[in-house]
Structure 1
Amino acid sequence: MGKIPPSLKSSKLPLSLLKPSSSLPQPSPCPPIPKRYPSSKKPSSKKTQTSKKPTPSRPTLFTSPDLSDAKKTLNSLLSSSRTTPTTSSLNALFQSFCEISTPQDSLPFLHHMQLKCPSFSPNHSTYHILLTHSCHGEISTVRKVLDLMADNGFPPNNVSLDLAVRALCSLGREDDARELIKELSVKYSPPDAFTYNFLVRRLCKTHSLSRVYEFIKDMQNAVTPDLVTYTILIDAVCSKKNLREATRLLGILKDAGFKPDCFLYNTIMKGYCILDRCSETIGVYKTMKEEGVEPDLVTYNTLIFGLSKVGRVVEARKFLNIMVEMGHFPDAVTYTSLMNGMCRKGDALGAVALLEEMQEKGCSPNSCTYNTLLHGLCKARCFERGFELYEVMRLEGMKLEAASYATFVRSLCRDDKIAEAFEVFDYAIESKSLTDVSAYSALESSLKWVKKVKG
């Protein structure tokens, strides 16, 4: 996926895609292209079918969530068994019932298991199954299970708390998880850093920053925020374009005795890139170097992306050379960012040349790379070369992105290639690049635009 067909390896790309042919008249900016694009893959009119092995599902012994039916099934299994079932096998049996039952029935079923199999001694795993299942019910049910664990000699530990918090968050119940973690920190044990930071991250996505800060303040006697916590907070405020708050948090982090690492600096750089403030992005990079923090591949990719986004392609190319000198191999993200910047400045043909350079250095383009080039070539009215690129994408089974698809279809309609536009529409649907509605909407608006211009 994303590679140029093997038959083109010798020239990396068709010559007509890299430079105009001198043997042909050139009244237009782009030379004509061959009607068939050479490829090691033969196009097929039939829809490609991928044979996938069915994923074996775990067999369940219970066919009904009804508690009485489950008890009968259990009794039958125990009476027909010649050996005493182990705790692990009974735990698996219990989990099987929990997957199809309600939280209200799981505890009575567990009591029935103990009654019918006296050798069964529930352990931490048993109660963790019950705890996770109880999170699908009321929070009072969760508290009841936690108290039951303590009463039976298995007081909730860090693992118990982590399971409950993650189960509640998976159901979108972050408020319940927040209250539970505060309550258990006092009653049993505080969460470890992994659970604490997991909940902080979830709260940053679902709640206001003030609510997150309130939670951190409430937990300060049980858990101290670490470098990961501050990184999560800074990432959250940067995503909301609040760089002033990110700077304040960075100061608090340093005052707390933490040294920013590469990941944190990359997070701040990403925030500046969102706001197109490339001078500050470069400033963060210089600060990293001054403080002895070695930039990584993500650092350089962020710089190149930000600079390319605002059209500072020359500077972006300089950082490409620097990252190579520092031993970081540019990847598809690096080159695609540069190509995007070049296309934005109208140098789509230069972006195509960069594609050849990319391949010569052993880096394979991906679907995003081709979509970026297709969009850029169509915008630059290099339609013939754009069509060549589309043929590569089609033969390689790549998906079309919404923007490149819309621009390409509009270019086809503008050149009176209506039949080809409908073929591209068919491919977009067949390859599941877009939904039927969005694909047809783009085609319809292009047809209306052409009719309005030429009518």
Structure 2
Amino acid sequence: MGKLPPSLRSANFAVNTLIKTPSPSPSPSPPPTSKPHYYPKKSQSPKKKPTSITEPQLPSSILAFDSTSLSDAKTLFNSLISSTRNPSTDNKFYNAVLQSFSSNSTLQDSIFFLNHMIKVHPPFSPDRFTYHVLLVQSCKSVDLSLSPVHQVLNLMTTNGFPPNKVSTDIAVRTLCSSGHEEQAIELVKELSSKDSPPDTYTYNFIIRHLCKNRPLSTMNNFIKEMREGFDIKPDLVTYTIMIDNVCNSKNLREATRLLGVLSEEGYKPDCYVYNTIMKGYCMLSQGGEVLGVYKKMQEEGVKPDLVTYNTLIYGLSKSGRVKDAKKFLNVMMEEGHVPDAVTYTSLMNGMCREADPLGAVALLEKMEARGCAPNSCTYNTLLHGLCKGRLLDKGMKLYDVMKQNGTKLETGSYGTFLRALCRNGRVADAYEVFDYAIESKSLTDVAAYTTLESTLKWLKKAREQGLVI
């Protein structure tokens, strides 16, 4: 790959290659289409395909019900049993047959079909998973009433399979995924009163779903009702979910309150909780508060991790406290953490904001010298900073390296680069950058063209006003 051209170097410092030149090797060179790997690949073991918790996987030779007619389904099942010399005794097969039919039929027809299966083939004895197939269907059939769910739960109890924690989890997840959070809450309270309360996984699933889809008051009311009515209390994971939610909505006052409640309940906030709150303050560009959270972590004896330092450096850089961010870059290395591309790019962004793009390029030299490869965000941050700093020639050299490496342009850097080129009368170069953005699929055709068009309109207006030559 290419080196950073000498013209991009400052007179006060030397800059090494932006992209490492591979050392000579006797092994044959890779095909031209292959891209360099900056880090060795991890050995990959065969991955198991994930299976659904709520719905069993269908065997490859399952019956396909082309019709939703119950009579047709019965005829097809009868044909299967009569034409097979030794019908399967595996319940998984019959459960999958039932699931196949239930995916297109009504709940009532599915129950009739199950009864028919039992009658025609007595060796088949429904198990809990059989009724869970019906339970999933009943939850998907819910409108304003839980009567379909009650029908299946009563059927389970009648046949010796009263609802357990797994049944509760399946019902809750299906109801929530179908947009029926209120019915899920109602069912949980009902089952809790019948000695089948949700486990912590189900409880926290509801909390997470309510955070995303319902007002904060709905979640708080649910927590209060479960605590007072069934003595089911939030745990550390629950509070972490809640804190993450309010931080994402920039409600840091509520996050601080929850942190206090967390301590009152006897839980010690872990590193993830503190990192979440730091992230919230970063969103508000409150570098001082980010630093305050870091100091509180140390007071509480919680050891910061790489994410902590990355968040801290990002928050300080974003709020204009670049000197403090540089200090913590050294601190994290002293603590044994290796800065990554996120660390360096955050600091470079802060330096560019402080009108020091050359310092950001100098940091790139140190980054590569320490064995950390820049990524697309790193290059785009520097390109944006160089153009904003009126260092277009250096920006062009950096752009050439990006092209050589196949690095995509981001929307912000692309627009800034086009305007800088047009401001300096290099319209032909602007068109070339537009072509590269299209060829590299950096942006959609519409987005790339719209940005170019608006830039050219700006140039025309600026020329009329005598702002550019």
**Length-normalised TM-score, structure 1:** 0.83
What residue is the counterpart of 1:33 in the other structure? none
Whole-Å separation in 2 of the counterparts to 1:127 and 1:281: 51
Q: Are 1:185 and 2:184 counterparts? A: no
Whole-Å separation in 2 of the counterparts to 1:335 and 1:188: 54
Amino acid of the residue matched to residue 372 of structure 2?
C
Q: 1:20 offset after TM fit, Å? A: 6.2
Whole-Å separation in 1 of the counterparts to 2:79 and 2:386: 70
Whole-Å separation in 1 of the counterparts to 2:67 and 2:371: 56
What residue is the counterpart of 1:163 in the other structure? 170
Whole-Å separation in 2 of the counterparts to 1:79 and 1:420: 76
Q: Are 1:135 and 2:143 counterparts? A: no
1:208 pairs with 215, 221, 234, which one? Answer: 215
Counting matched residue pairs gives 420
Task: Please show how residues 340-351 of structure 1 align to structure 2 within 5 Å.
Answer: 340-351=349-360
What residue is the counterpart of 1:111 in the other structure? 115
Q: Are 1:294 and 2:303 counterparts? A: yes
SS at match of 1:203: helix
Q: 1:18 offset after TM fit, Å? A: 3.6
Q: Are 1:334 and 2:339 counterparts? A: no
CA contact (8 A) 2:332 2:338 kept: yes
2:91 pairs with 80, 87, 93, which one? Answer: 87
Using a 3 Å threshold, how does the CA distance of structure 1 residues 394 and 252 change in structure 2: closer, same or farther?
Answer: same
What residue is the counterpart of 1:173 in the other structure? 180
CA contact (8 A) 1:65 1:102 kept: no
What residue is the counterpart of 2:37 in the other structure? none
Q: Are 1:17 and 2:8 counterparts? A: yes
CA contact (8 A) 1:156 1:188 kept: no
What residue is the counterpart of 2:161 in the other structure? 154
Once the two structures are overlaid, the 10-residue window that deviates more, 261-270 or 76-85, is 76-85
Q: Are 1:412 and 2:421 counterparts? A: yes
What residue is the counterpart of 1:383 in the other structure? 392
CA contact (8 A) 2:247 2:255 kept: yes
Task: Please show how residues 253-402 of structure 1 align to structure 2 within 5 Å.
Answer: 253-402=262-411
SS at match of 1:219: helix
Using a 3 Å threshold, how does the CA distance of structure 1 residues 452 and 130 change in structure 2: closer, same or farther?
Answer: same
Amino acid of the residue matched to residue 134 of structure 1?
S
Q: 1:103 offset after TM fit, Å? A: 4.6
Task: Please show how residues 32-111 of structure 1 align to structure 2 within 5 Å.
Answer: 61-62=63-64, 64-68=66-70, 69-85=72-88, 86-101=90-105, 103=107, 105-111=109-115
Whole-Å separation in 2 of the counterparts to 1:420 and 1:113: 73
SS at match of 1:260: coil
CA contact (8 A) 1:103 1:136 kept: no
* 1:167-193 Cα shifts (integer Å, max 9, x gaps): 222233322222222222113411111
Whole-Å separation in 2 of the counterparts to 1:331 and 1:172: 40
Whole-Å separation in 1 of the counterparts to 2:243 and 2:306: 20
Whole-Å separation in 2 of the counterparts to 1:324 and 1:125: 53
Q: 1:391 offset after TM fit, Å? A: 3.9
Q: Are 1:445 and 2:454 counterparts? A: yes
Identify which of structures 1 and 2 has the higher relative contact order when contacts are C-alpha pairs closer than 8 Å and 6+ apart. 1
Q: 1:350 offset after TM fit, Å? A: 1.9
CA contact (8 A) 2:135 2:152 kept: yes
Q: Which runs of 5+ in 2 are unaligned?
A: 14-20, 23-29, 35-48, 50-56, 465-469
CA contact (8 A) 1:41 1:395 kept: no
* 1:143-168 Cα shifts (integer Å, max 9, x gaps): 32222222221122222222222222
Identity over the aligned pairs, expressed in percent? 60
* 1:29-64 Cα shifts (integer Å, max 9, x gaps): xxxxxxxxx9998699xxxxxxxxxx9x98564152
Amino acid of the residue matched to residue 76 of structure 2?
T
CA contact (8 A) 2:65 2:100 kept: no
Whole-Å separation in 2 of the counterparts to 1:423 and 1:101: 58
Q: Which runs of 5+ in 1 are unaligned?
A: 1-6, 23-37, 45-54
What residue is the counterpart of 1:27 in the other structure? none
CA contact (8 A) 1:402 1:434 kept: yes
Whole-Å separation in 2 of the counterparts to 1:18 and 1:140: 73
Whole-Å separation in 2 of the counterparts to 1:104 and 1:392: 66
Whole-Å separation in 1 of the counterparts to 2:174 and 2:307: 32
SS at match of 2:209: helix
Whole-Å separation in 2 of the counterparts to 1:360 and 1:353: 11
Q: 1:430 offset after TM fit, Å? A: 4.7
CA contact (8 A) 2:287 2:321 kept: no
CA contact (8 A) 2:352 2:360 kept: yes
Whole-Å separation in 2 of the counterparts to 1:186 and 1:82: 48
Using a 3 Å threshold, how does the CA distance of structure 1 residues 125 and 384 change in structure 2: closer, same or farther?
Answer: farther
* 1:332-364 Cα shifts (integer Å, max 9, x gaps): 211111111111112222222222322222222
Whole-Å separation in 2 of the counterparts to 1:15 and 1:103: 73
CA contact (8 A) 2:68 2:104 kept: no
Whole-Å separation in 2 of the counterparts to 1:19 and 1:131: 69
Q: 1:243 offset after TM fit, Å? A: 2.2
Whole-Å separation in 2 of the counterparts to 1:106 and 1:429: 53
Q: 1:203 offset after TM fit, Å? A: 0.9
Whole-Å separation in 1 of the counterparts to 2:155 and 2:407: 54
What residue is the counterpart of 1:244 in the other structure? 253
Using a 3 Å threshold, how does the CA distance of structure 1 residues 162 and 428 change in structure 2: closer, same or farther?
Answer: farther
